[in-house]
Structure 1
Amino acid sequence: MNSNKTQKTTASEAAPVQPAANRRQFLSTAGAAAGAVAATSGVHTEVLGQNPQSPTEAVRIALVGAGGRGGGAVNNTLTINPNVELVAIADIDEEKPARLRDQMAKRYEKKVKISDQSLYTGLDAYKKILDDESVDLVIFTTPPGFRPQHVMDAVDAGKHVFAEKPTCVDPAGYRVCLKAHQKAIANKTAIVTGTQYRRQVNYVEAIRRLHAGEIGDIIGATSRYCSNGIWYRNRRDGMSDTEYQIYNWMHFIWLSGDQITEQAVHNIDLMNWLMQGPPESAFGGGGRFTRPKDSEMWDSMSIDYRYPGNRFISFKCRQIPGAKGENGTMIYGSEGTAQILGGNGGAWLKDKDGNEIWSMKGDIGAAYEQEHKDLVQSIRAGDPIVEFAETAASSLTAVMGRMAAYSGQDVSWDFVTKESTLQLFPDDIDLSASRESGHAIPGKTKLV
């Protein structure tokens, strides 16, 4: 598939919301009842028991996408949450589900309860998980292009969801995300996303202080996500074009959205969080120098995002082996500055004279776990978190920057949300099919 070609969006309105599954109702009402008992006793009580007929029934979790991020997400939720069980795994690769099941069973023997019959493979393997009424929560860590429809189908099936970032790679997928968000609210099912900085304590506190005006009015910022390269997988003998592109998904835009969407969305999400909403427009450029010949990815992008109030954030992302890495955001206020670094880098605020007025260390490992803890606790409390639209907006902000760089045009938020017909991810996938590829060229690649 040529990433410069487009298809019209054909996503139809989803079916009416069905009544919530009995098991989900039981978990939420039982969790709420247990919370009420704890509140009246004056003692905080974790929901822990094992009796399936009690308010402490285990939350049953399934995974779709058994690669490295899938293994990381499962490890996070099994580590931080008491009384959860991993009960099914699906992946397109027939070897991965069993391998990951065995790895997790060695670490969490009592929390991994997966028979061979609950290991699924193939493009439609996730549907078998959604058909299993005993599954409460599904974790999606597939290539991002799959995310919108996978989550929509899960919401239709009455499942709670953890969805890795980004949540879409094009405007068509963004619109599906918005529908899924609204249906989840109506269904009373949770959708928590893998934007762990939203739950990293130094990020949360820094943003709280910035919104409280501790360095005055926010004037603008610079943000960078620059790393030293990314993985690449050589084609295996006998693979069709489609099979190869899914296997090597990072390098094909219909699956990954390019680095600005797949990797750098973390910093773009921080930008929108800081500015309390998405930008009005994007203008920028970039290029490719070191990518493998068949990769559609660019090496670097530099985008100027204009936010309401004529405030600008200059954003750069880069993946070039041997080049200097840098990950963080510098914020400029009318009364001082702030810096929030990626990973464990920490954060600080300074006044106009450069005196530090606040700082805090970072702990990204705790944040990865906290997002899964918050999700499960919201399910048990009967008050499910639904944050899909928020992360979809950050994902589309990244897509908007990519569209601006690829086309060489100024791209507005109104255009990508209301007018663009760009749909990179097909409605149906034929694994045996041939598929074109090719990288974008500004001035030739059209804005659609």
Structure 2
Amino acid sequence: MSAALITATTTSRCLHAADGASDDPGREIRIGLIGCGGRGTGAINDSLTINDKVRLVAMADIDRSKCERTLAGMSRRHGSKVDVKPSRIHVGLDGYKEVLSDPEVDLVLIASPPGFHPSHTLQATRAGKHVFCEKPSCVDPAGYRICLEAHAEAVRRQTAIVTGTQYRRQVNYVGAVEQIRDGAIGEIIGAQSRYCSNGIWYKNRKEGVSDTQYQLDNWMHFTWLAGDQICEQAVHNIDTMNWVMGAVPQTAFGSGGRFTRPDDSEMWDSMSIDYVYPGDRVLSFMCRQIPGTKGDNGNVIYGSKGIAFIGAGSSGSRIVDRDGNEIWSMKGSIADAYKQEHKDLVDSIRAGQPIVEFRQTAESSLTAVMGRVAAYTGQEVSWEFVSEQSKLDLFPPHLDWNGDLPEPACAVPGKTKLI
């Protein structure tokens, strides 16, 4: 991929639905939900809350009880916006296929574990569905290439793909990026970004379950499913920095380790990555999940004339000059941003101008992968290598619900190979 093309796909501003009258403002959008865990439940609640004339009509998950809990909760909150017949609740590894083949479904919300996002989204676009896909878009280079195929397919079919990168629709993030673009801090010199928090959930293995069943239940802790913290969680900050920089980084060099994870978890506790962007602009990036440690989540961009602070959550943004005087600030609500991405998606469908942003989020997801691979192997990793040359494909070639999977293998720098 040429550098010019990379820049062109990453410099776009917040992707809102086009202005103008809708081609069919009264059209009901019928939604299918794939993945009924916490994030899937949050996504469908946001969509039903912010949008008029939408209806949940189908669901899929490997666990029927999750479908039933989500259905009960959404029915209580949203009444007639929820109409899921028992025949449209699908269970098992292939349950999502039933949602994609359902002619009554216009839009699918994909909140399966991240390792499934590339293939689920590509199959959804091939089925002619509009898509909302949670972040990250991919957890390895093989998945990234599938994402590019899905993006191109959606453009060809004129169907939407919106992703769960809500900060691109949060007003204080949009405002800060506009200020930076307009020269408020001068030329960008470098940046610092941290996603440091305490522990993360873990589920003990139940008696009698297969490797596949256990890993899917405990998906956060397996790299083929989650991509480690840097992909699954910290990709929000990486996406923000790609947006600010207007490009993907050229190289990544990093380190990290594990101290507190359970024995069968493949996750590291922390990673520290130096990303070098075009123009020799260095992003010092850190993510960490260690109980009892100090949390810090946000982004700082250093410019020749000032400094921009873009806080995570609803902490707002501000810009100071080189003397520390505040020259701009803006508040923002992450709850509103979560809803806005779903409104923009539905508005774009009704306007006949569907948003397609899968490539942008795939680039940010691969940037996270690039940092993880650099830390895991102890090598410097280039964008050219990870996007074009790497053969890394973490998804099991034969996934069987009752089958075996390889023993968890934690990366060891110097021993883990660059593939």
Q: CA deviation at 1:249?
A: 0.2
Q: In the alignment, does 2:376 pair up with 1:406?
A: yes
Q: Deviations over 1:20-50 (max 9, x none)?
A: xxxxxxxxxxx8434xxxxxxxxxxxx3xxx
SS state of the match for residue 23, structure 2?
helix
Between the aligned partners of 1:388 and 1:136, the Cα distance in structure 2 is 18
Q: Deviations over 1:238-278 (max 9, x none)?
A: 11111101110000000000000000000000010011010
Q: 2:32 matched to which residue of 1?
A: 62
Q: 1:258 matched to which residue of 2?
A: 228
| Aligned residue pairs, count | 398
Q: CA deviation at 1:328?
A: 0.3
Kindly report which structure 2 residues correspond to 1:180-259, keeping only aligned pairs within 5 A, or say none: 180-259=150-229
Q: CA deviation at 1:185?
A: 0.3
Kindly report which structure 2 residues correspond to 1:7-406, keeping only aligned pairs within 5 A, or say none: 32-34=22-24, 47=25, 56-406=26-376
Between the aligned partners of 2:120 and 2:139, the Cα distance in structure 1 is 14
Moved more, 420-429 or 78-87: 420-429
Q: Deviations over 1:119-139 (max 9, x none)?
A: 110000000011111100000
* Percent identity for Structure 1 against Structure 2: 62
Q: 1:437 matched to which residue of 2?
A: 408
Q: Deviations over 1:63-88 (max 9, x none)?
A: 00000001000110000000100001
SS state of the match for residue 95, structure 1?
helix
Between the aligned partners of 1:368 and 1:428, the Cα distance in structure 2 is 35
Runs of 4 or more off by more than 6 Å in structure 1? Answer: none
1:160 counterpart letter in structure 2: H
Q: 1:426 matched to which residue of 2?
A: 396
Between the aligned partners of 1:438 and 1:93, the Cα distance in structure 2 is 26
SS state of the match for residue 405, structure 1?
helix
Between the aligned partners of 2:261 and 2:204, the Cα distance in structure 1 is 13
Q: CA deviation at 1:57?
A: 2.9
1:445 counterpart letter in structure 2: T
Between the aligned partners of 1:390 and 1:381, the Cα distance in structure 2 is 22
Between the aligned partners of 2:395 and 2:178, the Cα distance in structure 1 is 37
1:424 counterpart letter in structure 2: L
1:265 counterpart letter in structure 2: V
Q: CA deviation at 1:353?
A: 1.0
Q: Deviations over 1:365-404 (max 9, x none)?
A: 0000000000000000000000000000000000000000
Between the aligned partners of 1:61 and 1:345, the Cα distance in structure 2 is 32
**Which protein shows a greater Rg?**
1
Between the aligned partners of 1:126 and 1:434, the Cα distance in structure 2 is 22
2:182 counterpart letter in structure 1: A
Contact 2:111 2:134 in 1 (8 A): yes
2:203 counterpart letter in structure 1: R
Between the aligned partners of 2:348 and 2:299, the Cα distance in structure 1 is 31
Q: Deviations over 1:339-371 (max 9, x none)?
A: 001001101001111110000112000000000
Between the aligned partners of 1:103 and 1:233, the Cα distance in structure 2 is 24
Q: TM-score, normalised by structure 1?
A: 0.88
Between the aligned partners of 1:244 and 1:426, the Cα distance in structure 2 is 14
Between the aligned partners of 1:208 and 1:301, the Cα distance in structure 2 is 30
1:430 counterpart letter in structure 2: D
Q: Deviations over 1:287-312 (max 9, x none)?
A: 00000010000000000000001110
SS state of the match for residue 192, structure 1?
strand
Q: Deviations over 1:128-169 (max 9, x none)?
A: 011111100000001000000000000000000000000000
SS state of the match for residue 408, structure 2?
coil
Unaligned runs of 5+ in 1: 1-30, 35-46, 48-55
Q: CA deviation at 1:417?
A: 0.8
Between the aligned partners of 2:140 and 2:114, the Cα distance in structure 1 is 10
1:382 counterpart letter in structure 2: G
Between the aligned partners of 1:141 and 1:69, the Cα distance in structure 2 is 6
